[in-house]
Chains A and B, each alone.
Chain A
């Protein structure tokens, strides 16, 4: 089970993921990402502090937006990820393809930099 919310703010869209993203629930993350990418705000920040689990289905959602985000010159930044979830991104080398930072403050700093 997962709960995903999208807040459209001035400078970025904030997605909050709460729960477990697997093959049955990744559709909710996908819908939220699509909404954020289509919105007028220039960047997307994903709060992963309550993301307890992610399988390949969830990783696939993030991967599938990398190109579209780049084409639209939007930044996608994930933050507040637990170690065990971060390690899953690391297994495939996705930590090098996606921007993952420790805190929301750092994520916001990335937007300016």
Chain B
């Protein structure tokens, strides 16, 4: 199954992204903790793109596609246009350093990397079109099949 959702780059739309993901995940047999963490990973990537790549410009959009493979896993594909951010080159900051400098950000992508099994960044599909792919292997079974 594939699902798709497009939102303008406003931080107050993060809630609608989480609702969209939650709504899809609720039709599968997943633990609360697993579902919560998948929602969190998508939220973190979208927040990062909205803030750092798009400077919260509401005339720009990001698009989320979700592909569920029954029994195998889930792939979130987040697309945007503009200057991409290469996740694969991201180096994890030191937690003690963040605490020491009283910085309020910097751990979002750390969470994403620890939650998801695979993260890919594709900036070459088309010029200035970026694709961020988050993959998690989990035994997805629809609730109706019980």
A residues near B (Cβ < 8 Å) are: 1, 20, 22-24, 26, 30, 53, 55-57, 59-61, 63-68, 83-85, 87-88, 91-94, 97
Q: Report B92-131 CB contacts with A as 1/0, cut-off 8 Å.
A: 0001001110111111101100110000000000000000
Contact of B99 among A55, A56, A84, A97 (CB under 8 A): A97
Q: What is the predominant secondary structure among interface residues of chain A facing chain B?
A: helix
- Contacts A/B (CB < 8 Å), 19 sampled: A22-B11, A22-B15, A22-B43, A23-B50, A24-B15, A53-B39, A55-B40, A55-B43, A56-B111, A60-B98, A60-B103, A60-B104, A60-B105, A61-B104, A63-B98, A63-B107, A87-B33, A88-B36, A92-B111
A53 to B33, CA, bound (A): 11
Q: Report B12-42 CB contacts with A as 1/0, cut-off 8 Å.
A: 1011001000000000000011001101100
| Contact-residue bracket for chain B | 20 to 34
The 4 A-B pairs at the shortest CB distance, nearest first, are namely A24-B11, A56-B108, A60-B104, A23-B47
A22 to B21, CA, bound (A): 15
A94 to B111, CA, bound (A): 12
Distance in Å from the Cβ of B80 to the closest Cβ of chain A? Answer: 16
B residues near A (Cβ < 8 Å) are: 11-12, 14-15, 18, 32-33, 36-37, 39-40, 43-44, 47, 50-51, 95, 98-100, 102-108, 110-111, 114-115
With A53-B18, A68-B102 as contacts: A87 and B44 at CB distance below 8 Å: no
With A22-B15, A53-B18, A55-B44 as contacts: A91 and B114 at CB distance below 8 Å: yes
